Structure 1
Amino acid sequence: MKKKYLALVLAACMTASLAACGSTAADTSAPAATTEEAADTAAAESTEAADTAAATGEHGPSSEAAPAWEDYDARIAAIRSETDLVKREALMHEAEDELMNTWAVVPLYYYNDSYLQKTDVENIYSNLFGFKYFGFAKTPTNTLDLQIASEPDKLDPALNSTVDGACLAILNFSGLFAYDENGQLVPELADSYEMSEDGMTYTFTMKDGLKWSDGEALDANDVLYSWNRLADENTAADYSYLCSVFATKDDGTLDIEASEDGKTFTAHLNAPCAYFLDLCAFPAFYPVPQQAVEAADGADTNPGAWALEAGFVGSGPFVLTEWKHNESMTYEPNPNYWAADKVSLTKINFMLSSDDTAIYNAFQDGSLQFADTIPTDMMATVKDTPEYHKIPTLGTYYCGFNVNSELFAGKTVEEAAAMREAFTLLIDRQYIVDAIAQANQEVANTFIPTGMSDGNGGEFRANDDAYTYPDEENVGYFNPTDMEGNTEKAIELLKSAGYEFDESGMLSANTPINMTYLTNDSEGNVKIGEAIQQDFAMIGINVTVETREWSVFLNERKDGQFDFAREGWLADYNDPINMLEMWETTSGNNDMQFGR
């Protein structure tokens, strides 16, 4: 929720993009596949796709240096179908090993969420996945002025892939389930649900009298339409791959159904899914109004055309009544919200900005009551004040290499991986945490973060009898604190990839390395890029830091228009598969371009 990840300064909460696009669900007209069968099938499909790409020339400029990805895709398919939790965990460790051994994904630290909130503001809450709930906040004036990011990329919940967009979706829409102030799942549009004994079928009973903000009835048929829309390749939703949990019908649509009276909604899964109710609370699965979606000008070419300006129909506690692009958004209560009596605010005003200093000044002078961005040079000042809040989140701030970048032109797969490993080892993560992020984040040397469940009653990022990380003492793939040893190893790795160094350990002018680092333009993210630039310069590597406005950055990164880029991922639910399936070849969150 690859699947903005938030356009926030790293020093604040540095929440990051969520999101990806889709795998198709298995056909349940045949018996359930075993793990091996699923792996074989996925591998065959991946090989066929690779053969097609080879025949049509659909490869990046340096695809000979990119890692083969058929086995990874097959392993993800096997994880989805595996019902033995011990075997499933083992497969997920294998997937993370394969991902990390490409050295294209470069974890820097595990997230904390830091923000500023006035002491007279109450009942704003969040969860481990970076979602913030503003709809039930209480203030002395019954208005709330806040900042969470700059101009949002997309407000259609099915198309959004950012944390700030998710926070806005939560304000504007409702799901079958939601998270309460304690981070627990509770029914929202659903009144209750039943799960079959085998865990493969969920039946939801909808609340009575549900309405859209325009007064039209909202029922199970809206859920049916919206979930099939999310899965439809024509919608081009980054998160469509989440629909892989469902069985499918003969016509390829999801095996879901609504009763004739719209009172009940039933979903059939292709395997038991422990996090299915979490999906029901995830914004991509929020119902959207079919009539409004399909009647919008430009809907044929832009599925999100209906939600590009204020006034669109929703189902949440608030509706967007005014949108001054790149400046502000105003939300007012939705009188047709099912729990409208719990809303006390009369207006919520969002400041749209990535100017950390301006945001901080607005908070200091009282223009803002909540700020999700804190300037790096003010962190030490605010950390001991009652307005400063730090809460745990489940995610990883990282950066990554486009495996098809010209940076790796002429290299073998092994040489390109050695280059990326060298670059990974050169980054001083502790400096980034201490001098830039400044919220006591834990430096990272695995992609899946500390605290994430293994899906079998334990923590995934831990050594145990079944699995030991390669760097046993530091529980990861390398020691992020041994900068002297890491630098020496990095030079040797680059030598193995054909680069020359002089006696002082500086890269020879005969074999230069030049690359760009792409980031959005908020202060903390730019400073991290500059820190990496300095780390690489220590041995003569030239890095140019390029900044983009948030929405431009998101699209360039998604399209693979970069060498090296800033990334971040806050989990959408507490299971490692969420951070592994985003790297499938077909995923909309596969920014590193694996398999392409």
Structure 2
Amino acid sequence: MNKTFKKLSAYLAAAVLFVSAAGFAQAKATNFTTVTLKEINYSKPTNMDKEQFLNIPFGTDIKTLDLSKATDTYSHAILELAFEGLTKTDTKDNKSDVIVPGVAYKYEVSKDGLVYRFYLRNNAYWTDGERVTAQDFVYSWTRLLDPNTASDYAYLLYPIKNAEAFNQGKAKASDLGIKALNDTTLEVTLKAPTPYFISLTSFSNLFPLRKDVVEAAGNSYGQDPSKLVYNGPFTVEQWVKGSKIVLKKNPKYWDAANYYLDTVTFLVIKEEATRMQMFTRKQVDTSTARGEYLKRFQKEAQKGTYKLITGYDRAENYVFFNNKDKNKLFTNRNVRLAFSLAIDREKLCKYVFQRYYPAYGWTPYNILIGDKQYRSLVPEPLKAEKAKYPTDAALKGLLQKGLKELGLNPNATYTVTFLSSGTDSFSRTIAEFYQNEWQKKLGVKVKIDAVSDFGTFLDKVDKGDFQIGAMAWGADYNDPMTFFDMWITGGGNNSAKYSNKKYDELIKKISMEPDNNKRLQYFKEAEKLLVVDDAAIAPTQYRDRYNFTHSYVKNWRLPLFANYELKGVYTSGR
């Protein structure tokens, strides 16, 4: 969830942006610079409760425990606790993230920024007692790229030498720049210096996997937690689909002594009112909030009843159009743009979500390019476009122009289908908002196709069985690329089925360019192309963070570019 990070000093200054915040020891070698990762220390427990557990609410169920195939936030949240990558993302102040040790305790980077060597600790074990080795990373990363895996996140590893070619069936696995020099040394060769590469190594799709365990499970791998081995601080003891996921402390984890929670239960609670009630009754220990609940919890936080983590998030809500719409309508740019500009983003934030910030660009605040916020450097491109169509009549005229270009009757009334990601009351409220906006301003009829769960929603999106949909994208690392490379032709997370050779070329230029000033200009051009010139998607809201926890939860924190980090967390006075 995070892509940041000229000569070697510039490559490293960016690549270890987060590391520097934590502090690191650096020793220069002839051809490599060594970075020794350092941990964050937290207050030691006092007056711990006899039973150490947490209950955390989830808005929907996870989709899989197969880290090569996981795409949803909820699955990633579990994987981050049950597995561990080369590095981890943590925070001490809930404002800035740092890269801390994971399976690797240090790494080296060559002066040309192309070769990384990761040194693995000797005390990292799988739950069955086997050592975690460099080969486990080679296998996992190769599996992620293997076209037979069909991973939506394969493109994350495209910075690696021959990775894209292998993923497209044009190279062999042995050609990949991923090598185990021995059991404890992993060497990665990139095709070009990649400023954000280090921050990728803490993302869950890049965690290790045991070949024998994956192959023994076959196509069912990731569905039965009892058939998996884990190398993270917790194991998945139980997954009751649609209900809960229960994690237990992993005594074989190398840093188990600094994890105090014995059980962490994630409860699937779809209805907001239920979640709010359970939070006030201490049946769940943490929650977000909106509307009247948000105001009430903020007051309680001021009194010390709850702890509050707030600020800009790393995520953005958006509407996406099927650019390959079998009914033709959304294959036209002007049609898509009319639907995008017809959305009253201010009203959506104020009355529907009762929080967040209106979005007229495709990268939120908190996303850095080098050491500067991208959004503060690049104006939101949809604002200028919106000013060209100030009335409903102007928007309808834009729609009619698109209909004419498609050879359709511009005066006819068309029915479009909005795919809703759930049947709960809030999902219905969101769907009905879009329905009312488009029907009133554009004169179309909007049918709502509500599916029962998020997994079904993702399946329909993957198959292109929709016309319009809406969801959120959370940054995988701290660089604008995490918001842009998903829209390349054929990208696994390209929900809009968008394809433009010029856009693809821009993303390729960015991937080969270490100079952040040049990258900034390419990103600016790509953003305008995506949301205005092609109007492939409609950004709607920059998300914020309002996370409340009960005061008895100690050392609670939420890294921006990870879901949860529970090291040092305990309860006292529950």
Give TM-score scaled by structure 2 length.
0.71
Matched, 1:145 2:55: yes
The within-5 A match list for 1:97-136 is none
Instruction: Select which of 432, 448, 460 maps to 1:530.
Output: 432
1:157 Cα deviation after fit = 1.6
Matched, 1:257 2:173: no
Q: Partners in 1 of 2:128 and 2:256 — Cα distance?
A: 14
Matched, 1:208 2:122: yes
- What are the superposed Cα offsets for residues 484-537 of structure 1, whole Å, 9 maximum, x if unpaired? 81524312212323479xxxxxxx995112111112115444322211111112
Aligned to 2:480: 576
With over 3 angstroms needed to count, the CA separation of the structure-2 counterparts of 1:481 and 1:559, relative to structure 1, is same
Q: Partners in 2 of 1:379 and 1:175 — Cα distance?
A: 35
With over 3 angstroms needed to count, the CA separation of the structure-2 counterparts of 1:520 and 1:377, relative to structure 1, is farther
Matched, 1:285 2:188: no
Aligned to 1:513: 414
- What are the superposed Cα offsets for residues 221-266 of structure 1, whole Å, 9 maximum, x if unpaired? 1111111111111111110011111113963442111123x01111
Q: Partners in 2 of 1:197 and 1:523 — Cα distance?
A: 55
Matched, 1:587 2:491: yes
Q: Partners in 2 of 1:360 and 1:270 — Cα distance?
A: 49
Aligned 8 A contact 2:403 2:410 in 1: no
Q: Partners in 1 of 2:342 and 2:336 — Cα distance?
A: 10
Matched, 1:419 2:344: no
| Aligned residue identity for 2:416 | M
How many aligned residue pairs are there? 441
Aligned 8 A contact 2:120 2:134 in 1: yes
Aligned 8 A contact 2:127 2:231 in 1: yes
Aligned to 1:237: 151
Aligned to 1:477: 382
Structure with more of its chain in strand, by fraction: 2
Q: Partners in 1 of 2:399 and 2:162 — Cα distance?
A: 48
With over 3 angstroms needed to count, the CA separation of the structure-2 counterparts of 1:306 and 1:426, relative to structure 1, is closer
Which has the higher relative contact order, 1 or 2, with Cα contacts under 8 A spaced 6 or more apart?
A: 1
Q: Which moved more, 1:343-352 or 1:251-260?
A: 251-260
Instruction: Select which of 352, 359, 363 maps to 1:444.
Output: 359
1:420 Cα deviation after fit = 1.1
Aligned 8 A contact 1:311 1:321 in 2: no
Aligned 8 A contact 1:453 1:576 in 2: yes
Aligned to 1:328: 244
Q: Partners in 1 of 2:435 and 2:210 — Cα distance?
A: 47
Instruction: Select which of 449, 455, 460 maps to 1:551.
Output: 455
SS at match of 2:375: coil
| Aligned residue identity for 1:395 | A
Aligned to 1:186: 100
| Aligned residue identity for 1:401 | F
With over 3 angstroms needed to count, the CA separation of the structure-2 counterparts of 1:379 and 1:527, relative to structure 1, is farther
Q: Partners in 1 of 2:385 and 2:457 — Cα distance?
A: 28
With over 3 angstroms needed to count, the CA separation of the structure-2 counterparts of 1:219 and 1:532, relative to structure 1, is same
- What are the superposed Cα offsets for residues 164-199 of structure 1, whole Å, 9 maximum, x if unpaired? 111111110001000122320012100111100001
- What are the superposed Cα offsets for residues 373-404 of structure 1, whole Å, 9 maximum, x if unpaired? x4656344334332354342222110110012
Aligned to 1:490: 395
With over 3 angstroms needed to count, the CA separation of the structure-2 counterparts of 1:590 and 1:163, relative to structure 1, is same
| Aligned residue identity for 1:166 | H
Q: Partners in 2 of 1:137 and 1:246 — Cα distance?
A: 42
- What are the superposed Cα offsets for residues 405-449 of structure 1, whole Å, 9 maximum, x if unpaired? 14435x9x6xx111111111111111111112223x221111122
Aligned to 1:505: none
Aligned 8 A contact 1:321 1:330 in 2: yes
Aligned to 1:195: 109
Aligned to 1:174: 84
Aligned to 1:565: 469
Aligned to 2:269: 353
With over 3 angstroms needed to count, the CA separation of the structure-2 counterparts of 1:554 and 1:179, relative to structure 1, is same
Matched, 1:369 2:272: no
Sequence identity, in percent?
A: 25
Aligned 8 A contact 2:401 2:410 in 1: no
SS at match of 1:171: helix
With over 3 angstroms needed to count, the CA separation of the structure-2 counterparts of 1:361 and 1:248, relative to structure 1, is same
With over 3 angstroms needed to count, the CA separation of the structure-2 counterparts of 1:219 and 1:378, relative to structure 1, is same
Aligned 8 A contact 2:106 2:119 in 1: yes
With over 3 angstroms needed to count, the CA separation of the structure-2 counterparts of 1:451 and 1:143, relative to structure 1, is closer
Q: Partners in 2 of 1:444 and 1:137 — Cα distance?
A: 42
- What are the superposed Cα offsets for residues 196-237 of structure 1, whole Å, 9 maximum, x if unpaired? 000100001111121101111111111111111111111111
Q: Which moved more, 1:423-432 or 1:321-330?
A: 321-330
With over 3 angstroms needed to count, the CA separation of the structure-2 counterparts of 1:328 and 1:306, relative to structure 1, is closer
1:339 Cα deviation after fit = 0.3
With over 3 angstroms needed to count, the CA separation of the structure-2 counterparts of 1:389 and 1:536, relative to structure 1, is same
Aligned 8 A contact 1:256 1:267 in 2: yes
Aligned to 2:315: 395
1:320 Cα deviation after fit = 0.9
Aligned 8 A contact 2:232 2:250 in 1: yes
Q: Partners in 2 of 1:498 and 1:321 — Cα distance?
A: 54
Aligned 8 A contact 2:91 2:98 in 1: yes
With over 3 angstroms needed to count, the CA separation of the structure-2 counterparts of 1:436 and 1:480, relative to structure 1, is farther
Q: Partners in 2 of 1:306 and 1:287 — Cα distance?
A: 14
Aligned to 1:101: none
With over 3 angstroms needed to count, the CA separation of the structure-2 counterparts of 1:137 and 1:381, relative to structure 1, is farther
Q: Partners in 2 of 1:270 and 1:531 — Cα distance?
A: 46
With over 3 angstroms needed to count, the CA separation of the structure-2 counterparts of 1:443 and 1:579, relative to structure 1, is same
> Structure 2: which 5+ runs fail to align?
3-7, 11-43, 164-170, 501-574
1:542 Cα deviation after fit = 1.3
SS at match of 1:492: helix
| Aligned residue identity for 1:275 | Y
1:545 Cα deviation after fit = 2.1
Q: Partners in 2 of 1:317 and 1:192 — Cα distance?
A: 20
Aligned 8 A contact 2:137 2:208 in 1: yes
